[in-house]
A and B are shown apart, each in its own frame.
Chain A
Amino acid sequence: MNQELLQKLSECVEFGKINLASPYPPQMKGLPGADEITKEALEAGVTPTEILNDALITAMNKVGQKFSENKIFVPQMLLSAKAMGASMIHLKPYFANGSVKRKGVFILGTVFGDLHDIGKNLFGMMVEGAGWEVIDLGIDVKTDKFVDAIQQNPTAVVGISALLTTTMIHMKPVIDAIKIAVPQTKIIVGGAPLSAEFALSIGADAYGKNPQEGIQWLDSLAS
């Protein structure tokens, strides 16, 4: 019974079935989604840790893999992330009381001067789905805000995003300030105009070419 619920939940997340009302995907129309199945699973005695590890993370791994292989695209990935979010709402109390452990804290934001967020949002949702706690600082994030966040969460990993060539140059001063505030902080950068060479040149620890690679790097830090 429990395994069946976990399997159903995993499928809801993999295929982007958010809740009963959602018409997507067409083959699951009228069926319960991640929202209802998570509730049912908790009531049936499935532990939050099992839900996180055996359904959500498993499903989002598949989603990330399919995305990196061009088998699905941004809309499908966002729908999966939304389905995962609908499930996560039921797990929040267990995260808050410490009964479910996550891999770590990931602080994320688009660098100051830049208002673009689709890449950041997508990556943030995928990271959350991979079992991390995500603190999303939003767009146009000033250096001080990154520094405050890392000082409050000194073991966190930081992700900085930029879409513009005119704003990617703002990443280095942010990285410098974070490394001065909490020197051991690991930082990953991403965004369309960036490259691995650029990431290295500004002192970042990693370059997220795509969500899957970024998550693999994050998970390597947690292991």
Chain B
Amino acid sequence: MQNWIDTILNSEKRMALPFMTHPGIESIGKCVRDAVTDGEVHYRAIKAVSEQFETTACTVIMDLTVEAEAFGAKIKLPENEVPTVLGRLVADAPSIEALNVPGLDKGRVPAYLLASKLAAENIKDKPIFSGCIGPYSLAGRLYDMSEIMVAIYIEPESIQLLLSKCTEFLIKYCKALKATGTQGVIVAEPAAGLLSGDDCMTYSSIYVKQIVDAVQDESFTVILHNCGNTGQCTDAMLASGANALHFGNAIDMEHVLKQCPNDVVIMGNLNPVGVFKQGSVDSVKLETKHLLQKTAGYKNFVISSGCDLPPFVPEANIRAFLETVEKYNFQ
């Protein structure tokens, strides 16, 4: 398959890639808990999405608890929501020092590797993107998200040690995801969007870059997702070296596109809740058209949802989005 980045940059058409697996889970009659615990169900959900919708590529579930669970964090597995981390695993310098970097046989990591492997083996007509959490967001899951925001100033050395351990694991995990045959990985780093640009650089991008350097090449793309960024983190995201950056709905895409070089693929950013889930077919069409028109001059833009689509988005809204993109391309 041709390098995905080149495909985008050389295309005359506007590509569409909403991050979604929940419609697939729903269409095969399973619940979220089934998909996040069973690699085969997860794969079948991805396959269902690929067959139902004409998107540029397929993505795995954005489940930001897999890696924390592998480290030993307790999680809650609701029936129809993505899991949540319970409590904190580390709280101070001694517990961070004692924290072991887990192997890839822990928790649900094998199930997620299986989902990527089956998708790569069986879906041949479009690229598959695996997924993982970003280093700062993972560290926040382990340390407590509110507490880490303060600790980067009070105990910076301890947090940097924690980030190093998180990154070591994520590099190992991303190499294994790459070995499954997928075309890239979406590194989801939403918590870094709550930081200033300088802090995003120091506590996120430097570590994301280590992941990028370890796995990104002609055949494997890193898409760095940061839906918390309201504009202050864009330079730091660029500094990660990821070939593609994915933005949330809190940012002005036109401004981002002006700011970023044209050889970096820029993705975003229709509101997954306000537009896709709660909007009507007409409002989805209107918002999609508006974003397409605003970004018309940029070949490096891929229209997407601002984050993973939540469960139970009306299928008609997804179709309205894709049809609007198709109509735009036809014109």
Contacts and interface: CB of A to CB of B under 8 A. Distances in A.
Interface of A: 16, 22-25, 70, 72-76, 78-79, 82, 113, 115-118, 121-122, 164-167, 193, 195, 198
Contact of B152 (A22, A75, A82, A164): A75
B311 A75 contact: no
Contact of B86 (A113, A115, A165, A198): A115
B149 A78 contact: yes
Given A165-B273, A166-B311, A70 B149 contact: no
B231 to A, nearest CB: 7
B255 interface: no
A195 B310 contact: no
B315 interface: no
A70 B231 contact: yes
A198 B195 contact: no
Interface residues of B, number: 27
A113 B273 contact: no
A74 B231 contact: no
Given A70-B230, A70-B231, A79-B150, A165 B311 contact: yes
Interface in B59-95: 76, 78, 80-81, 84, 86
A102 to B, nearest CB: 24
Contact of B195 (A24, A74, A193): A74
Nearest to B81: A166
A121 B146 contact: yes
Contact of A164 (B86, B153, B199, B310): B310
A167 B192 CA distance: 24
Contacts of A78: 146, 149-150
B262 interface: no
Interface in B191-208: 194-196, 199
Contacts of B199: 73, 75
A78 to B, nearest CB: 5
A115 B76 contact: yes
A62 B145 CA distance: 24
A164 B330 CA distance: 36
A123 B112 CA distance: 36
A16 to B, nearest CB: 8
B296 to A, nearest CB: 27
